[in-house]
Amino acid sequence: MVANYELYAHFSVSNEAALYKLFLVGPATGTLGERMIDTGSSNADLSGMSFTTQNRDNDRMSRGNCARSYKGGWWFNNCHDAFLNGQWSPGYLDRPWTPTIQNGTSVRETVMMIRRH
């Protein structure tokens, strides 16, 4: 089994009072391809985004709530190119990490790791 990954030079999350805001700094390296830091689309940049849940809408989607629409919490912008927390049922989640992983049925597990400095 081949493990895909993406490693960021700096990755941190703020506290609850700051809505668990995500901070990312590149360059990113790995096999997935950069989809969380601005890649030319302000809608795809997740750095600086607060965590959105179904009952706490912190995304930038003008109509609706990305977490409610995609059935899982994440640092949504408008809505996602990278999203590892969604439902993995066959036929439901598409594009968990665009363009590398187009279909959620091929994902068996996701892991996010943060190392304290």
Per-residue confidence (pLDDT) for residue 79, from 0 to 100: 87
Q: What is the full per-residue pLDDT of the chain (117 aa) written as tens digits?
A: 568 888 888 889 999 999 999 999 888 898 888 888 876 777 778 999 999 999 999 999 989 999 998 888 999 998 887 887 776 665 555 566 776 776 666 677 777 777 776
Q: How far apart are CA 99 and CA 44, in angstroms?
A: 12
List, in sequence order, every beta strand (DSSP E) within 31-91: none
Residues in contact with 79: Cβ distance below 8 Å, sequence separation at least 6, in sequence order: 59, 61, 66, 69, 70
Per-residue confidence (pLDDT) for residue 57, from 0 to 100: 97
74-to-6, 66, 77, 115 alpha-carbon distances in Å: 17, 9, 9, 19
